């Protein structure tokens, strides 16, 4: 805390403080002597009255001294600065205003939005600068940007920029903005100061750790109240993400309640031309999910849009996505071992919603678009290509070739097991045959048993309507070292515990190890009624890897881009929003491809890349969830946050008081008046008593 005096030349007048003291002393000068017969009574009276009068005297002396002190200080025009570092009104100041333009600043606190309040405060701060000072503004958003490339004294332009600026729907890169502000102040002479005007959302600022140079002063000006409430749609998804025609689809829409009270909200869902709605009770500070059931009659791409009734913060009340409804699953069949492949093919050909493609090994080199690939008698070749398919979300069913190395298979789902080479065991060759899928014929037929009954794969068979696996008998199988495989799920096993079906996760896809021979010579399962539903269920459960591949999701502020491997005239490619308006594009040309980028910030919603008015790809711009929680940090939390030696203040008078100091003369005048009044009353009291 520092005081500055506007009329420091009047300091010598402080000597006037001696006046009341002298008056007090002069008032005690020797009065006329009165020789009296006996002063015993008088002494007693004086002793008695002094007990009362002496405090009065001291009180009067105190009040008069205070009155003089207040009057002298009044003329000295003191100004109080709460922050000692800022108490230099006569030096040069370099100020960077970091104005929060993130989505949460659009929340209306009272008559104006937080952003408007921040801009007004920033403008007021700029008004207080002198011609010696320099300033700049950094907009805090996903990609912070300054108004001027360097510090400037053109405050009028900065204030005009504050008037013109609108709030974004983006999240903010706080650390980047502060670093940018610090870089703008580098090399500036005089006091260097960063003033952050923000609502200081807890969700955005909690984890911010900024290390600024010690020579920089950081002032945090808080706008907005901490009790803002909001409800937001934070997600929409379909299960399955790429359903088939006629398949039941479950659509989930998540609603978050950022308020201390449970809230009932109606979620409206648009699926293509259909409209659904559902009431959801969202608990306080938690989320709820609206669940919709739908069935598509025609294949195609449908838009999914969910929204809730608008609240005070409408930017996050809507979510959009697409759902691609397919007519059939595309299943590839690579038949190195013909008997098993024939059994699979017979089964798959009998299902209308599966389209089977017989592939050759060379086809793997092409750009395959498959939901599943069945490999029969596979010896482990083309692992890279298979891995690429797995990464793209394709399910692989692997029936190994006899005596093929286990390590080849293991390499598909994870890193190769070190030291295990074809024909070797893990123990360094003590059992050379253990590293292979060794064909083993059984004298006594083995049956199957389900080892993970709770798995989604078996949900159809729990009641026995679609058959019973345990009755299938096998006379042969592969014996292999399980420990040579990566960690996976043993879904089915033979009586002796040897895995019959294992599942591994690899990338977005799933990899199955099929150890159930379909040759009628070695088993009767292909002839059983439960074989076909099991195979179909396996393909349905495994499709897609849970991700929609046909839509790209980005957050607001992130660049919307489409990478094409061929040249295309700008006029042929269009990016359209839900309102069918075309978004300006620019292209970034690489060595072998062209990347098209949206040339303006995009609002949340669904966008379509079109080539010659035909949909090419879809993209959804999502509102950042972090901006929906409108709770803000308190000033104490801001003071204690790790952003260097910062001073946190509330907007308005507090900021001006911090920067320009508090002129104390009105307080001194009021104080002097009160003291004068008290002095008069005390005098009156003293006289009366």
Partner 1 sequence: MNHSRFRYLKAEDIRKLAGFEFAPRLLAEGYLSGRHTSHLRGSSVDFRDYRQYVPGDDRALLDWRVYARTDRRYVRTYDQETNLECHVFLDSSASMGFGQPLTKLDYASFFAAALCYLVVKNTDRVSLQIFDEKIRHYYPLGSTGRHLQNLMHALESNQPGNKTSTAEALQRSAPLLKRRGTLVVISDFFDDPVAIFSALNPYLHRGFRIHLFHILTPQELELEDRGLLLFDDMETRQRVIAHTGNIRGLYKQAMDRHINSLRELAMRRQVDYLLARTDTHYFKLFDRLTQ
Contacts with partner 1, residue ranges (CB under 8 A): 28, 30-46, 48-49
Find, among 244, 238, 241, 239, the residue nearest to 326 by Cα. Answer: 244
| Least gap, CB of 21 to partner 1 (angstroms) | 19
Residue closer to partner 1 (CB basis): 48 or 653: 48
Pairwise CA distance, residues 431 & 429, whole Å: 5
| Least gap, CB of 25 to partner 1 (angstroms) | 14
Neighbours of 131 (CB within 10 A): 6
Residue closer to partner 1 (CB basis): 35 or 214: 35
| Least gap, CB of 32 to partner 1 (angstroms) | 6
- Burial class of residue 80, CB neighbours in 10 A (0-12, 13-18, 19+): middle
Residue closer to partner 1 (CB basis): 42 or 529: 42
Residue closer to partner 1 (CB basis): 56 or 385: 56
Residue closer to partner 1 (CB basis): 27 or 291: 27
H-only helix segments in 497-603: 531-542
Within 108-148, strands assigned E span: 108-109, 112-113, 134-140, 145-146
Residue closer to partner 1 (CB basis): 9 or 687: 687
Pairwise CA distance, residues 408 & 484, whole Å: 11
Neighbours of 132 (CB within 10 A): 12
Q: Answer yes or no: are the C-beta atoms of 265 and 317 closer than 8 Å.
A: no
Residue closer to partner 1 (CB basis): 39 or 645: 39
Residue closer to partner 1 (CB basis): 48 or 157: 48
| Least gap, CB of 686 to partner 1 (angstroms) | 9
Residue closer to partner 1 (CB basis): 49 or 206: 49
Pairing relationship of beta strands 662-663 and 78-81 according to DSSP bridges: antiparallel
Task: For residue 180, give the H/E element and its range.
Answer: helix 174-185
| Least gap, CB of 20 to partner 1 (angstroms) | 19
Give me the residues paired with residue 576 across strands.
582, 608
Find, among 621, 633, 631, 632, the residue nearest to 316 by Cα. Answer: 621
| Least gap, CB of 51 to partner 1 (angstroms) | 13
Pairwise CA distance, residues 103 & 559, whole Å: 17
| Least gap, CB of 689 to partner 1 (angstroms) | 9
| Least gap, CB of 682 to partner 1 (angstroms) | 16
Distance, C-alpha 647 to centroid of its chain: 26
Pairwise CA distance, residues 451 & 422, whole Å: 29
| Least gap, CB of 46 to partner 1 (angstroms) | 5
Q: Which two tokens stand for residue 299?
A: 């294949």
């Amino acid at each position: 805390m520092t005081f500055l005096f506007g009329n420091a030349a009047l300091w010598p007048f402080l000597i006037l403080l001696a006046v009341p003291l002298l008056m007090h002393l002069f008032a005690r000068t020797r009065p006329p002597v009165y020789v009296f017969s006996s002063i015993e009574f008088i002494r007693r009276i004086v002793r008695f009255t002094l007990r009362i009068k002496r405090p009065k005297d001291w009180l009067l002396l105190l009040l008069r001294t205070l009155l003089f002190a207040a009057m002298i200080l009044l003329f000295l025009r003191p100004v109080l600065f709460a922050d000692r570092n800022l108490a230099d009104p006569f030096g040069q100041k370099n100020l960077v205003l970091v104005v929060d333009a993130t989505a949460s600043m659009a929340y209306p606190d009272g008559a104006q939005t937080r952003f408007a309040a921040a801009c007004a405060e920033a403008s007021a701060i700029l008004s207080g600068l002198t011609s010696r000072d320099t300033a700049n503004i950094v907009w805090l958003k996903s990609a912070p940007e300054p108004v001027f490339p360097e510090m400037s004294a053109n405050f009028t332009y900065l204030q005009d920029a504050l008037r013109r600026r609108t709030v974004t729907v983006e999240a903010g890169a706080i650390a980047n903005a502060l670093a940018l502000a610090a870089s703008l102040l580098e090399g500036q002479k005089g006091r260097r100061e960063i003033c952050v005007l923000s609502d200081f959302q807890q969700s955005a600022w909690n984890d911010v750790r900024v290390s600024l140079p010690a020579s920089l002063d950081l002032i945090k000006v808080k706008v907005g109240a901490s009790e803002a409430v909001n409800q937001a749609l934070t997600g929409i998804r379909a299960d399955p993400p790429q359903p088939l025609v006629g398949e039941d689809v479950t659509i989930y829409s998540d609603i978050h309640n950022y308020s201390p009270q449970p809230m009932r909200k109606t979620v409206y869902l648009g699926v293509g031309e259909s409209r659904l709605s559902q009431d959801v009770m969202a608990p306080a500070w938690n989320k709820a999910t609206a669940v919709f059931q739908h069935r598509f009659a025609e294949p195609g791409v449908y838009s999914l849009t969910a929204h809730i009734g608008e609240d005070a913060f409408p930017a996050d009340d809507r979510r959009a996505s697409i759902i691609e409804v397919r007519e059939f699953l595309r299943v590839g069949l690579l038949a190195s071992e013909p008997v098993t492949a024939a059994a699979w093919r017979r089964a798959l050909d009998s299902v209308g919603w599966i389209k089977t493609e017989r592939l050759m090994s060379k086809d793997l080199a092409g750009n395959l678009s498959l939901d599943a690939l069945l490999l029969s008698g596979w010896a482990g070749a083309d692992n890279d290509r298979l891995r690429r398919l797995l990464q793209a979300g394709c399910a692989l069913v692997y029936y190994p070739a006899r005596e093929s190395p286990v390590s080849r298979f293991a390499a598909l789902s994870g890193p190769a097991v070190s030291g295990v080479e074809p024909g070797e065991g893990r123990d360094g060759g003590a059992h050379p045959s253990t590293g292979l899928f060794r064909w083993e014929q059984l004298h006594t037929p083995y049956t199957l048993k389900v080892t993970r009954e709770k798995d989604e794969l078996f949900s159809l068979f729990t009641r026995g309507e679609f058959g019973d696996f345990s009755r299938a008998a096998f006379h042969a199988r592969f014996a292999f070292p399980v420990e040579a495989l990566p960690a996976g799920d043993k879904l089915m096993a033979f009586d002796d515990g040897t895995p019959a079906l294992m599942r591994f996760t690899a990338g977005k896809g799933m990899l199955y190890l099929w150890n159930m021979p379909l040759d009628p010579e070695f088993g009767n399962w292909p002839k059983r009624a439960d074989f076909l539903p099991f195979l179909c269920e396996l393909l349905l459960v495994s499709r897609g890897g849970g991700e929609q591949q046909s839509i790209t999701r980005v957050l607001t502020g992130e660049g919307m881009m489409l990478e094409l491997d061929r040249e295309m005239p700008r006029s042929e490619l269009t990016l359209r929003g839900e309102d069918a308006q075309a978004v300006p594009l620019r292209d970034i040309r690489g060595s072998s491809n062209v990347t098209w980028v949206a040339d303006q910030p995009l609002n949340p919603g669904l966008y379509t890349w079109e080539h010659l008015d035909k949909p090419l790809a879809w993209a959804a711009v999502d509102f950042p969830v972090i901006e929906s929680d409108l709770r803000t940090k308190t000033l104490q939390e801001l003071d204690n946050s790790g952003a260097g030696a910062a001073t946190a203040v509330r907007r308005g008078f507090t900021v001006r008081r911090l920067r320009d100091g508090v002129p104390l003369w009105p307080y001194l005048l009021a104080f002097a008046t009160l003291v004068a009044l008290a002095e008069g009353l005390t005098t009156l009291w003293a006289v009366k008593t």
